[in-house]
């Protein structure tokens, strides 16, 4: 099934340019010059991503996203906007954005950001199961099996593995893991992450034959 991207941009030439470059990458697109018919499209189609300008006729882009979030529509959003002040970018994220690109921008940057957001958001569990290679996480039961055999993990180790699998192909910095796995309200050191990763490796790959997790020196960790 093709990836479907909705683009909302009131400048026709920019809209057509984005549609052209995304089509070259194999994405299907639906373009709008304002937000008037966007919600109907989101309800009728299986949309994978929204690229949303903010300075639009009628409803401002981030206000529209905030309104659909309140209605339960969680389609990922990349804002593309000339609003480039720190507080404006922060506002975009607070209103439901997943990424934010300031104008002017290159089409290459847009494509890279699109691919990154889709990587993060399209890896959705099926029937509460999340898999990577021969590892299966049952998110409801919070159990892990490797080649069908159960592996006992602590809550922290399970959450750490969950974060790595959700972000497959992305190097997760230690600070990201501290914030999203340990919790931003606690104070920890980088060594905390190193120790936990090593414990996790020993449990899921005791004979070091599979090398699921790779250390990127000075940066963080990713799945191999």
> Would you tell me how many other CB atoms lie within 10 Å of the CB of residue 166?
19
**133: which 2 tokens?**
């290679």
pLDDT value for 95? 94
DSSP code, position 98: S
CA of 66: how far to CAs of 34, 118, 149, in Å?
A: 15, 20, 43
**186: which 2 tokens?**
């606690």
**Under a CB-based contact definition with an 8 Å cutoff, are residues 182 and 155 in contact?**
no
Task: State in words which class domain 4-122 has.
Answer: alpha beta
> Would you tell me how many other CB atoms lie within 10 Å of the CB of residue 33?
17
**86: which 2 tokens?**
């720190």
Q: What is the mean pLDDT of residues 69-91?
A: 92
CATH level 3 topology of 129-223: Arc Repressor Mutant, subunit A (1.10.10)
Q: Is the pLDDT of residue 52 over 70?
A: yes
| Environment class of 122 (CB within 10 Å of its CB; exposed 0-12, middle 13-18, buried 19+) | exposed
pLDDT value for 187? 60
pTM of the predicted model, to two decimals?
0.57
Nearest to 51 by CA among 90, 87, 92, 2: 92
Instruction: Find the radius of gyration of the CA atoms of the chain.
Output: 20
The model's pLDDT over 134-188, given as tens digits with 9 standing for 90+, comes to: 999 998 889 999 999 999 999 999 999 999 988 877 888 888 888 888 875 556 6
Q: Is the pLDDT of residue 29 over 80?
A: yes
Give the separation between CA 61 and CA 212, rounded to whole angstroms: 41
Nearest to 68 by CA among 48, 86, 43, 93: 43
Supply φ then ψ for residue 175, to 5 degrees. -65, -35
Domain range summary for the chain, segments of one domain joined by +: 4-122, 129-223
**53: which 2 tokens?**
């300008």
């Amino acid at each position: 099934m093709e990836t479907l991207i909705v683009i909302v941009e009131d400048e026709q030439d920019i809209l057509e340019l984005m549609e052209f470059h995304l089509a070259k990458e194999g994405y299907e697109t639906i373009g709008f010059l304002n937000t008037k018919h966007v919600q109907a499209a989101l309800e009728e189609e299986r949309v994978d991503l929204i690229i949303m300008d903010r300075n639009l006729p009628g409803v401002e882009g981030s206000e529209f996203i905030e309104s659909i979030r309140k209605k339960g529509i969680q389609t990922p959003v990349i804002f593309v906007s000339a609003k480039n002040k720190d507080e404006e970018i922060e506002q975009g994220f607070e209103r439901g954005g997943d990424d934010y690109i300031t104008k002017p921008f290159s089409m290459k940057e847009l494509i890279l950001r699109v691919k990154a957001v889709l990587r993060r958001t399209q890896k959705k569990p099926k029937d509460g199961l999340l898999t990577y290679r021969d590892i299966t996480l049952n998110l409801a039961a919070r159990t892990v099996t490797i080649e069908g055999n159960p592996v006992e993990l602590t809550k922290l180790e399970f959450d750490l593995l969950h974060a790595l699998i959700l972000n497959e192909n992305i190097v997760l910095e230690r600070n990201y893991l501290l914030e999203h796995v340990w919790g931003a309200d606690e104070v920890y050191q980088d060594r905390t992450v190193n120790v936990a990763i090593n414990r996790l490796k020993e449990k899921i790959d005791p004979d070091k034959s599979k090398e699921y997790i790779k250390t990127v020196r000075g940066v963080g960790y990713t799945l191999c």
